[in-house]
Amino acid sequence: MKLNKLKRWFFVMVKNTGIICLMILVLTAGCASMSSADKTQRQERGINKLVIHTDKGKDTINKNIYGHFSEHLGRCIYDGLWVGEDSDIPNTRGIRNDVVEALRRIKIPVLRWPGGCFADEYHWKEGIGPRQQRPSMINTHWGMVKETNAFGTHEFLDLCEQLECEAYVAGNVGSGTVEEMQDWVEYMTSDADSEMANLRRFNGRDKPWRVKYFGVGNENWGCGGNMSPEYYADLYNRFQTYVRSYSGNRIVKIACGPGSENYPWMTTVMERSHRRMNAISLHHYVRGTGNWTKKGSATQFDEAEWFALMKNTLTINPLLKNNIEIMDRFDPRKRIGLFVDEWGTWWDTEPGTNPGFLYQQNTIRDAVSTGIFLNAFNNHCDRVKMANIAQTVNVLQAMILTKDEEMVLTPTYHVFEMYKVHHDAVMLPVELQCGDYQLGDEKIPSINVSASKDTSGKIHITLCNLDPTKSAELVCDLQGTRPSSIIGRALTAGAMNAHNTFDNPEAVQPDAFDKFDFEDDILTVTLPPKSVVLLGIK
Ligand code: AHR
């Protein structure tokens, strides 16, 4: 009997009869028919089994989990998104057409702006009115460069309209005033005959914008004012009072949550402010074995560095679980959303670039890390209602890199494109038993997964093989469904550091994938090493 057939038969027997001694017999027979190389590999890796409960989904994966973040930092806004109306680079009212089109292709649902750390030193009134009359400032967080304020509120909200996405504006608590924040919300969203609404009309925008999401500060435990959680929670309660819902714009108020494992911050802010918030943020950046001073190269690394990133990325699961447990204590009905509004990989800046600009390359390693993050958000979608990768263009784990009129889509972009099938679909519970990816004395699970069912009933499974050198065979039991067709796509590469450059922009791209078969109700998939795989099942 061929090995695949034998495994399927074995799985059906286990599933249908549960006769343990038969299992042992079959397993022994199976092992006898394997080549010794197969046998060693299976002994090393174990059998990978996945059960997908296709009829048991109840929570929806909010499409905002696939959100983005753009800060006045380096070349994200200027060059990346904004080139100005007089630029030779094709643009619409100063905003790059190529970047807008690329982001629309991944159905960007929401965009956070203007920071980040920049948000708590941004004074929005400097970024409205005729551009040549706007005062400039120094961007003290990011490279001490001149900020011209050419890109301000009107330009950002025009960008969101061009992208057809929701706007998420982060307000200034660190160095701003309550009045300034109140005025901003009124300026953007009020239809009244009021001072701020009339100022907006005077500046050329008659109708108010829809601004659904408003953040009250950013990282106020650090760059946003170095506050204690008690002090911030009191300030939050005060500032948010004046963040009003005008003219039918129901605003979602977001409190500043912790960075990574700062559980005391989450506990105190939830305890003091949970009645006054709609969401609370969480930030989580990952890297390899490096530290804040030497984070490691984005492209020059060995397998130990690959392993370290995979291991560190998997910390998102306990991190979500622990923060959610704290939230559950104060909000057992899960009214408040957890918004992971900054996440991603953070490497040393590319040699020869301004260290304050956080410009980094992006490889298949970043892509697999992205798949793991997004699977985690999907699997916790009863509480995680938004996530915003940092950042959209030319900064940190960017979707897009630009050089003058050229644009490169990164491997991370391709993962977002593949995963868009999960937007607003119902998350399907999964049970995964898999072998380890071992390096030296350390091991981590080799496979990572999430699944969903869309409104047409189509099931999508996204799988990552974390092991950069070994393929992984996975046997899936699709409980509650009888597929009539299955199609696949995969993102993988030959080298661990494969990436797209301006000279070779299509080195890492998704391809059609057919290394699976379905027989006797069992789906068997062979995941290539270092891959992100999407299966669509009807
Ligand atoms: O994304 C870069 C920076 O990381 C943001 O400005 C800040 O919020 C975080 O520390």
Token look-up 């409205």 returns 128
Confidence of residue 5 (pLDDT cuts 50, 70, 90): low
Distance 386 CA to ligand 1 centre (A): 17
Q: Which atom of ligand 1 is nearest to the CA of 69?
A: 1
pLDDT digits over 374-402, tens only? 999 999 999 999 999 999 999 999 999 99
- Give the pLDDT band of residue 2 (cuts 50, 70, 90): very low
Model confidence pLDDT, tens digit, residues 146-160: 999 999 999 999 999
With beta carbons less than 8 A apart as the criterion, state whether 271 and 209 touch.
no
Q: What is the pLDDT of residues 65-110, one digit of tens each?
A: 999 999 999 999 999 999 999 999 999 999 999 999 999 999 999 9
- Report d(CA 308, CA 438) in Å as an integer: 11
Identify the band that residue 536 occupies on the pLDDT scale cut at 50, 70 and 90.
very high
Q: Is 130 exposed, middle or buried (0-12, 13-18, 19+ CB in 10 A)?
A: exposed
Active-site option among 155, 342, 417, 473: 342
Q: Which atom of ligand 1 is nearest to the CA of 119?
A: 6
The pLDDT tens digits of the residues spanning 334-376 come to 999 999 999 999 999 999 999 999 999 999 999 999 999 999 9
Atom number of ligand 1 nearest to Cα 358: 2
C-alpha separations of 441 from 66, 195, 318, 444, 470 in Å: 35, 66, 22, 11, 17
pLDDT in tens, 222-249: 999 999 999 999 999 999 999 999 999 9
pLDDT score of 47:
83
- State mean pLDDT over 269-285: 98
- The pLDDT value given to residue 476: 96
Give dist(CA 304, CA 308) in Å, integer: 6
Chain mean pLDDT for the chain: 93
Structural domain boundaries in the chain = 3-59+427-537, 64-424
Q: What are φ and ψ of residue 394, in 5° steps? A: 65, 5
Predicted local distance difference test score (pLDDT) of residue 7: 52
**What's this model's pTM, rounded to 2 decimal places?**
0.92
CATH number of 3-59+427-537: 2.60.40.1180
Q: How far is the CA of 114 from the centre of ligand 1 (A)?
A: 11
Determine the pLDDT at residue 14: 45
Residues 323 and 382: beta-carbon distance below 8 Å? no
DSSP 149-178: --S-HHHHHHHHHHHT-EEEEEE--SS--H
- Closest-CA residue, ligand 1 atom 9, reads 116
CATH classification (class only), 64-424 = alpha beta
Res. 23: pLDDT tops 60: no
Tokens of 80: 């990346």
Is 147 a catalytic site residue?
no
What is the per-residue pLDDT for 520? 82
Residue 17, pLDDT above cutoff 60 = no
For atom 8 of ligand 1, the residue with the nearest CA is: 116
Ranges 7-16, 275-284, 445-454: which has the least confidence: 7-16
Residues 6+ apart with CB under 8 A from 476: 49, 50, 51, 52, 461, 522, 523, 524, 525
Instruction: Quickly list DSSP for 245-274.
Output: --TT--PEEEE---BTT-HHHHHHHHHHHG
Distance CA 52, CA 48 (A): 13
pLDDT tens digits for range 107-132: 999 999 999 999 999 999 999 999 99
Helix-strand-coil split of the chain, %, nearest 5? 35, 25, 40
% of the chain with per-residue pLDDT over 90? 90
**Gap from CA of 255 to ligand 1 centroid (Å):** 16
Ligand 1 midpoint to CA 117 (Å): 6
Task: Report residue 21's pLDDT band, with 50, 70 and 90 as the boundaries.
Answer: very low
Q: Is the fold of 3-59+427-537 the same as that of 64-424?
A: no
Q: What pLDDT is recorded for position 521? A: 83
Q: Which residues line ligand 1 (CB under 6 A)?
A: 71, 115-117, 218-219, 342, 390-391, 396
User: One of 219, 305, 417, 473 is an active-site residue; which one?
Assistant: 219
Give 335's Cβ-side CA count (13 Å radius): 13
Residue 224 CA, closest ligand 1 atom number = 8
Residue 161 catalytic?
no
- Ligand 1 atom 3: the closest Cα is on which residue? 116
Q: What CA–CA distance (Å, rounded) separates 448 from 376?
A: 9
Give the residue, by CA position, lying nearest to ligand 1 atom 6: 116
> In this predicted structure, what is the pLDDT of residue 441?
97
For residue 352, how far is its CA from the centre of ligand 1 (angstroms)? 21
pLDDT (tens digit per residue) in 443-481: 999 999 999 999 999 999 999 999 999 999 999 999 999
Averaged pLDDT for residues 280-289: 98
Neighbours of 511 (CB within 10 A): 11
